[in-house]
Amino acid sequence: MWSLSQIAGSIHEWLSTTFNPTIALILEMVIAGVAIIGLFAVLGLVLVIMERKVAAWIQIRLGPNRVGPKGLLQSAADTVKLLVKEGMTPDGADKFLFNLAPFVAMIVAMLLMAPIAFAKDFQLWDLNIGVLYVSSVSSIMVISILMAGWSSNNKYSLMGAMRSGAQIVSYELSAGLAILSIVVLTGSLQISEIVQSQANGWWLFKGHIPAIIAFVIFMIAVTAETNRAPFDLAEAESELTAGFHTEYSGMKFALFFLSEYVNVFIVCAIGATLFLGGWMPFHIGNWEAFNHIMDYIPSSIWFFGKTFFLIFLIMWFRWTFPRLRIDQLLNLEWKYLLPISMVNLLLMTALAILGWHF
């Protein structure tokens, strides 16, 4: 059956037989880089139109319906508009940092793609500390936001960046503890091993109530980390115009816009990997016939299906809940989510030691 790993294997075999090992390795890296850039472009187009269609569905209206069939080319038209817009740099801004910030945001997003397993045997870098790598590199994103806010020479941008910094640093704690709950169950930080540990059932179901609590906390925390509503205090239009990217226009604004959607995809991919088995089909214990039928669905379909389901959940949050105040946002983390996460991690540790999970 067709699979991404077969395509990758065929390309590797052709390059290995055509070129010497060094050139073949360089070409493979170039192809992987181009593939990731292409994935970014596709994700930007798909997620923007998905956001607008989901918003329209929830609000009982049509949404984009003029450009292309049923408005599906609207995000392509938006991209063309941003491409032809002039990129402005405000007077008094730190030009170097102002221009560097959107590229830092995109570089971080590209680095986060490395350990994600998109399908069976289809992974750029299966390092043994994959989960720790993702948690560490994602923390760098706040630097690009602070850089953009400070270098813009705009009080609204600076205030938005400071809010975002406080928000991301706070909610990283709960997200990290939720991730640790699954690491305790699997006993490994390697993403491929975490996926393999769910061959007989996903951790969301095998880990009992603590796994469900960890999943709920993870989804709330990553929604806040990606500056998505109802936690979008960093770019609250009614208070801060556009927050940390108020002064950005053209392609520099587009890079920030794209990195936000790519980060949503990445955190949902990590959530799908940890709690929903990643590319692993839905298996139930020793139900051999049922499991065999599930195996017929390609692993890449399982992975992207789960990831886009979680993306839909995050979009559902945006169009359901009103925006929180900054004090409410920080109270939610420090007074509720963090204590609950710590107690839940203790419960999960006891569950793992006693072997009470399925």
Structure letter (DSSP) for residue 235 = G
- Looking at this protein, which amino acid is placed at residue 33? G
Residue that the structure tokens 């052709």 belong to: 14
| Sign of the CA dihedral with 17 first, then 22, 27, and 32 last | positive
Question: In the beta sheet, which residues pair with residue 122?
Answer: 119
Give the pLDDT confidence score for residue 239 in this predicted structure. Answer: 61
User: Which residue from 253, 250, 256 is spatially nearest to 80, judged by alpha carbons?
Assistant: 250
Sequential pLDDT tens for the chain (358 residues): 457 778 888 888 888 888 888 898 899 889 988 988 899 889 989 999 999 999 999 999 988 888 888 888 888 898 888 888 887 888 888 889 998 998 998 999 889 998 998 888 888 888 888 899 998 998 888 888 888 888 888 888 888 888 888 888 889 999 999 999 999 988 889 998 999 888 888 888 888 889 999 999 999 999 988 888 788 876 666 666 667 778 888 888 888 888 889 999 999 999 999 999 888 888 777 778 888 888 888 888 999 999 999 999 999 998 888 888 888 888 999 999 999 999 999 999 998 888 776 6
Residue 123 sits at φ, ψ, to 5 deg, of: -150, 135
Q: Which three-class secondary structure state does DSSP give residue 243?
A: helix
The CA distance from 144 to 234, in Å, is 13
Whole-angstrom distance, CA of residue 24 vs CA of residue 62: 49
Q: Give the C-alpha separation, 260 to 226, whole Å.
A: 7
CB atoms within 10 A of CB 215: 21
- How far apart are the C-alpha atoms of 355 and 260, rounded to whole Å? 39
Cis peptide bond prior to 230, omega within 30° of 0: yes
Do 188 and 197 contact (CB within 8 A), yes or no? yes
- Measure the CA–CA gap between 351 and 121, rounded to whole angstroms: 30
Q: Are 323 and 240 in contact (CB under 8 A)?
A: no
pLDDT score recorded for residue 241: 66
At 303 the pLDDT is 93
Predicted local distance difference test score (pLDDT) of residue 342: 94
- 212 neighbors 305 (Cβ within 8 angstroms): no
Start-to-end CA distance of the chain, whole Å, equals 31
* Phi, psi (degrees; rounded to nearest 5) at 119: -165, 175
Angle, in degrees to the nearest 10, between helices 155-186 and 338-354: 10
Structure tokens at 229: 């509503």
Q: Is 47 left (phi over 0), alpha (psi -120 to 50) or beta?
A: alpha
Predicted pLDDT of residue 1: 47
Q: What pLDDT was estimated at residue 358?
A: 63
Beta bridge partners of 119: 122
